[in-house]
Structure 1
Amino acid sequence: MSEQTIALVTGANKGIGYEIAAGLGALGWRVGVGARDGQRREAAVEKLRAQGVDAFGVPLDVTDDESVAAAARLIEERAGRLDVLVNNAGVTGGMQQVPTAVDLETVRTAVETNVFGVIRVMDAMLPLLRRSASPRIVNMSSSVGSLTRQTTPGLETGPISAAYAPSKTFLNAVTVQYAKQLRDTNILINAACPGYCATDLNGFRGVRTPEQGAATAIRLANLPDGGPTGGFFEDDGVVPW
């Protein structure tokens, strides 16, 4: 694009989201740092700016209708359009998640952020994305959302989970439906698996760095026109549904 590319990354104040914002900013893009916590959000913006990134803060709670609507208005005022949306904000929902013992509130919490929050943000931002020459949406999923991998004997897919893992399966299904609806437009929408990264989401037990986890999302945000849509990708290629 001849104009500066405008991106919004949700949950961008730390971890993988921050590294996605940093990676997109390193390309010369203007990046909205979406986050609920004002202090952490502004600290992330300052850190990104110190690295030369054209970053600005976007107050954003993906579980709140008015917060999301206000974020869309802010981007409208600041940029007039949106080229790339990365839905990164996510939660585990809490523990315990063994199906026979899980509290339904734990499931509800995971779905509210990881699925409903993504739908809420996409619908609010789509009018701005439609103004872009090459709009892209990236939904941050997880390989634990792959039913193929979950049902493959002997394949390690982490602990049994009745909240987090199914919420990512749900997100994958939603991504496919949006891609189907938007197939005749220039909007490409895909799901990305960052791998098992060391973040506060897992108590920093992951084996990959957040920077490594950001790589697939950055690649999908840069897809050329005519690139894949409705897919699920990781570093090594396609993740089976």
Structure 2
Amino acid sequence: MVDVKGKWALVTGANRGIGYRIAKFMASKGCNLILHSRSLEHTKAVLEEVRAMGVEAYDIAAELSDLSQVEAMMNEIEKRGKPVDILFNDAAVQIAYRTDYWKTPVEDYSKSFVINTIAPMMLCYRFIPKMIERGWGRVINTTSGIRNEPEQAGYSASKAALDKVTSDIGGKLDGTDVCINLADPGWCRTDLGGPNAPNDPDSVIPGIVVGAFIDDKKSGRWLGAQDFAGLTLEEAVKKAADYPQLFK
């Protein structure tokens, strides 16, 4: 199992929900953090929390729907001189639930794809080559298990696209010590999931982060966090080894 102590992880959407749980857990394992949100005011509290846990951390702001801000954020991260060893592409948006889905507007797709697919892939394209140069890295792209719900077509389609490019890159990285995998938190009671979701957001640990700790040089897996609920991290890493790779 990977020891992440002293490594640097970028967590998008780190101020709340699943991203907040990721940040706190990684800090508990000694991992230094780059905490993203749309505003530095949003990450103020979690930044204080993780620093109090003894790790280095800083926060950075970007609106992911604005790709010029995404570019500026990546440039700022590189100027800071700290490598992105682990990338958690967690931030996402669910535009609306369209009961009359025959009237789904174009904007549901265009905005969803920019935030949920294009922005995370821009981060992958920037930081994965540098991981390859260093000989080590982990990328965990947060996906969704939504199926057969045209009411959420923009969201689910954007996540399906993220699945595809993650799988395709996984096929190129497989067998190296730079691993890219998908993690599905399940339907959780977060701002995105809403109050009627069946799962407590704390249940995503350790499954949502297990991709950062695997050490078998396998990529392209779809890891359902709820399948790991109640397990120790060590147990979760062992279980993840048996998950199939999407590109095979």
Instruction: Settle same-fold status: TM greater than 0.5.
Output: yes
**Compared CA separation, residues 105 and 210, structure 1 to 2 (3 A):** same
Alignment pair present for 1:233 and 2:235? no
- In the other structure, the counterpart of 2:33 is 31
Of all paired residues, the percent bearing the same amino acid is 28
Distance in 1 (alpha carbons) for counterparts of 2:210 and 2:108: 32
Distance in 2 (alpha carbons) for counterparts of 1:14 and 1:2: 22
What is the deviation of 1:126? 2.4
Distance in 2 (alpha carbons) for counterparts of 1:214 and 1:66: 33
- Which of 170, 183, 192 lines up with 2:183 in the alignment? 192
What is the deviation of 1:51? 4.2
Distance in 1 (alpha carbons) for counterparts of 2:156 and 2:99: 10
Alignment pair present for 1:64 and 2:55? no
Cα root mean square deviation, aligned:
2.5
**Compared CA separation, residues 95 and 229, structure 1 to 2 (3 A):** same
SS in structure 1 of the partner of residue 74 of structure 2: helix
Unmatched 5+ stretches in structure 1: 145-149, 151-156
- In the other structure, the counterpart of 2:231 is none
- In the other structure, the counterpart of 2:131 is 129
**Compared CA separation, residues 201 and 239, structure 1 to 2 (3 A):** farther
Provide the TM-score with structure 2 as the length reference: 0.82
What is the deviation of 1:234? 1.0
Alignment pair present for 1:202 and 2:204? no
What is the deviation of 1:119? 1.1
Distance in 1 (alpha carbons) for counterparts of 2:212 and 2:167: 17
Counterpart amino acid of residue 229 in structure 1: S
Alignment size in residue pairs: 229
For residues 163-192 of structure 1, the C-alpha deviation after alignment (integer angstroms, 9 at most, x for no partner) is 111221111111111112333643110110
Distance in 2 (alpha carbons) for counterparts of 1:106 and 1:127: 31
**Compared CA separation, residues 205 and 187, structure 1 to 2 (3 A):** same
Distance in 2 (alpha carbons) for counterparts of 1:212 and 1:139: 18
Unmatched 5+ stretches in structure 2: 228-239
Write out aligned runs for 1:1-241 (5 A). Answer: 4-96=6-98, 98-144=100-146, 150=147, 160-183=151-174, 185-224=176-215, 226-235=216-225, 236=227, 238=243
- In the other structure, the counterpart of 2:233 is none
Counterpart amino acid of residue 223 in structure 2: F
8 Å contact from structure 2 (residues 97, 151) kept in 1: no
